[in-house]
Structure 1
């Protein structure tokens, strides 16, 4: 029997689409359904390595986990990874196909619909229900022509839509009713119902608001969802969810992450954020590195040379030198590891204009950005301490030099990664996701002089997904949403011109 499908779109970004789809994926899986999450187009530098050897947005990986099924490149067939204010790397079905400025990408979108539909039908062949997530706002009518992310996809597959509004940011009545006002009639006709998310307070106070929205839009009211406080325990959808300040109170070891403009895979620090003994802070450019930092982390970057320039413009290179004079520690991950070396060369213009720049010179290594991209899950040990780890590689570039003779990590297949210097106070590697490993995290925290809790991170994620599913079951008419889902339209459907 073919899968049914329903799509969740938003009145804007960060209204909670990803979280709601994850929660519904777990809820419907617990009801015994085979659920497949799907997002036609995502824009994020938070990505995950898939079981079939590609990459997708991290939010879709969480949704796959909620559905208790392996990740697949087909869950997010088009992934845009911003490298500048106007351009992105374009990943199709898990593989990089090139780079495009925003204007050029608009011209590409109709051609990408074939890949989107191929992936959609591929997943639908092994599912009872497809939970489809839109991107950004459903009301961006200036981008409607050739759209593959929202109403263009919904029309191509004749998938009914549930529209989500965020009451926490204010103006939710106007945003939902206004979306109905600006959409073309045939697009508006595909919206079958609406949800209001992130409500705080007495639901009775917004009962008339729900009634008014339903009356003005003629869409079914499917639920008023109270704020889910434990959402902070799950990976954020994108940089809009990036926390800027740590937790106050008590003596905590201060861990500083430099949030340069094109930071990537920052969700890997979530386990540190949940540790009671850690004050995790993401610093935006313009904020100096505090003098009492225990360690400064240079995270991954989608445009390493550009973010290195931003780091210097923020004065963080000077702050790092002072931090090291105070015997502080520095860790570089992926792009951050490349920045720590003596030089970064991009001869083919993989991440921007071709060229070569001096690195921070804190590690005696040099990096050349190369065409091939490493995408794989890895495991092994910390070379110096023989503590086991699990993580993943997602990078371009080859890093070589004298300090690599003292590698940070040794993989189970014998390969080595990273470098260590200054008696262990400076280290870098390409592997992401290290802190999700409870044993490694506890060992690392002890090395910082911080107390490690009994947090079992992976179990905590599972418990939180179960709680989210129960939360949605209480406040959403899940049965009605299932009744609204329909079998997808033909594989050969096309978008509006």
Structure 2
């Protein structure tokens, strides 16, 4: 088990690299994270949801599940499909004090934080069952902790860190982040806060994200080991290729790497509940594209060619974010100047006349006016639609892969002019909507720009030329480079010997 001294110390990336490195050695490797909190999620082929009595789902689709994006990437690093059992509990924040709770791929609804703290111990049997199922498939399971394992005030309701390690009988490696600073204090402080039984579960510690001359930090390692008794297991230097892999959560957007030198400017407002923002990674990889995340307090530049409204876990709340930041005014002015706007999933819903949430699924019940740029209306409700997509778009002639993940149902005259015409399994269905002038469009499909031919087609429409990028091969190369980095920085034989 890889635990951290804090959030964002690099646990997810480190586990992904170790997954690929050990898989390349011929081991059957699986990732596991008991509970993840993230609005970046991935669809799984398996599900814990019961099928309809006649065995049919809407549109003839079978139930599918969802897990955190980080565990899906780790599964990919192992060379296996993602499964609901790799991340049995997923929390998707919708408000500052509440999240949608997903248990083994199935949404249980929105839950205030205090209520969830009271109920999560009841999830432990399902979590341990998922862990046992994962172990049954593997030679090695790499378990990722959440946040800090030293939050001892949460120990009685912990399902992710030390209590899970105790129940599952797994050894723990603690990871400190040298880039943040305070590594010595955070590691020794972790030891001070843990009780003796939890201290004994720790088999050593790693130092992550190091830059410079490590010999200068070696005396600190001696001090850490002197105070804790934990052996030093190695240092992982800064991995320059991290930006080529999907980020786990929106912390990554607080320090965005803006691209420049391209011929087309794309702006994305940084919504408060932004979700599945890795949709934009393939565009960021294109040299012809200058991609910029607009932070709160910043206007959308008048030089923008395309504004993209990304996914969100709380559509109505983020419509209010648009208005509070004045971005709605910027968007409408951009359209009047002849600019283009694209909405993805919740962003698509925001482009319509109104978003209704009569049952209070994403927040207080009510309705919120949309931007009015498409003749559509959305009602939040019904079963969550989780669907992996592999189809051909008849409009562009391009093959598309991606997924749908939403609860809203959209209606209106705008749907008579769909963005896409998806042809799969012998049937064609329309998807999304396009305005009469063709400059405002949107739909529910996530991951659409990872399809190279479609991305090139879309860029050509907005006046840019795509580079010859095989985006999926780019991800694979980045995972291999990360595995090489782990091999070069760590004694993987010694780490493997600690597993039991």
Scaled by the length of structure 2, the TM-score of the pair is 0.94
How far residue 193 of structure 1 moved from its aligned partner, in angstroms, is 0.7
Contact kept? 1:381, 1:409, Cα under 8 Å: no
Question: What is the deviation of 1:384?
Answer: 3.6
Q: State the 1:212 CA deviation.
A: 2.0
CA deviation string 1:172-209 (max 9, x = no partner): 11111110011111111111111100000112222222
For the 8 Å contact 1:341–1:361, the answer to whether it is kept is yes
**Could you report, residue by residue, the CA deviation over 1:54-82 in whole angstroms, capped at 9, with x for unpaired residues?**
00000000000000011100000000000
Please state whether the residue corresponding to 1:168 is helix, strand or coil.
coil
Specify the SS of the correspondent of 1:32.
Answer: coil
* 8 Å Cα contact 1:14-1:237 kept in structure 2: no
Q: Shift of residue 247 of structure 1?
A: 3.4
5 Å matches for 1:289-328?
Answer: 289-328=300-339
Q: Tell me the residue number matched to 2:5.
A: 11
1:51 and 2:62 are equivalent in the alignment? no
Q: Encode CA deviations 1:98-143: one digit per residue, 9 max, x unaligned.
A: 2211111110111011111010001111110110000001111121
SS in 2 for 1:195: strand
Give how far 1:249 is off: 4.6
The equivalent position to 2:25 in structure 1, one of 17, 23, 31, is 31
Q: Residues 90 and 99 of structure 1 are in contact (CA less than 8 Å); yes or no, is this contact kept in structure 2?
A: yes
Residue of structure 2 equivalent to 1:142? 153
Q: Is the 8 A contact 1:261 1:307 kept in 2?
A: yes
Contact kept? 1:285, 1:311, Cα under 8 Å: no
CA RMSD for the aligned pairs? Answer: 1.2
Paired with 1:336 and 1:155, the residues of 2 have a C-alpha distance of 43
Q: 2:31 aligned with 1:20, yes or no?
A: no
> Contact between 1:253 and 1:294, CA under 8 Å: does it hold in 2?
yes
Distance of 2:122 and 2:239 partners within structure 1:
39
Q: Which residue of 2 aligns with 1:343?
A: 354
Q: Which runs of 5+ in 2 are unaligned?
A: 47-63
Deviates more, 1:207-216 or 1:45-54: 207-216
Q: What does 1:211-230 align with in structure 2 at a 5 Å threshold? A: 211-230=222-241
C-alpha distance in 2 between matches for 1:250 and 1:97: 46
Change (3 A) 1:248 1:266: closer
Tell me, yes or no, if structure 1 residue 456 matches structure 2 residue 467: no
Shift of 1:484: 0.9
Query: Could you say if the C-alpha distance between residues 249 and 41 of structure 1 is closer, same or farther in structure 2, counting changes exceeding 3 Å?
Result: closer
* Correspondence 1:299-448 to 2 at 5 A: 299-382=310-393, 384-412=395-423, 413-448=427-462
Q: Distance between the aligned counterparts of 2:249 and 2:269, measured in 1?
A: 16
Moved more, 297-306 or 245-254: 245-254
Equivalent position SS for 1:296: strand
Report the 3-state secondary structure (helix = DSSP H, G, I; strand = E; otherwise coil) of the residue aligned with 2:428. coil
Within the candidate set 29, 33, 42, 2:36 is matched to 42
58-67 vs 411-420, greater mean Cα deviation: 411-420
- Summarize the Cα distance change of 1:36–1:382 in structure 2 as closer, same or farther, 3 Å threshold: same
Q: Deviations over 1:187-234 (max 9, x none)?
A: 111111111000001122222222222222111211111100001100
Give secondary structure in 2 for the equivalent of 1:424: coil
Which position in structure 1 is the counterpart of 2:286? 275
Please list the CA deviations of residues 271-329 of structure 1 after superposition, one character each: whole Å capped at 9, or x if unmatched.
Answer: 11111111111112221111011100111110111111111111111001110111110
Whether 1:253 aligns to 2:271 is no
Mapped contact 2:29–2:140 kept (Cα < 8 A): yes
State the TM-score, normalizing by the size of structure 1. 0.95
Q: Which has the higher contact order (CA 8 A, sep 6+)?
A: 1
Corresponding residue of 2:79: 68
1:30 CA drift (Å): 0.5
Query: Secondary structure, in 3 states, of the residue corresponding to 1:427?
Result: strand
The 10-residue stretch of structure 1 (373-382 or 157-166) with the greater mean CA deviation from structure 2: 373-382
- After superposition, where does 1:66-105 map in structure 2 within 5 Å? 66-105=77-116
Query: Residues 380 and 409 of structure 1 are in contact (CA less than 8 Å); yes or no, is this contact kept in structure 2?
Result: no
Distance 1:300 1:177, change over 3 A: same
Partner of 2:176: 165
Pair 176,320 (structure 1): closer, same or farther in 2 beyond 3 Å: same
Any stretches of 5+ residues in structure 1 without a counterpart?
A: 1-6, 487-497
CA distance in 1, matches of 2:221, 2:328: 52
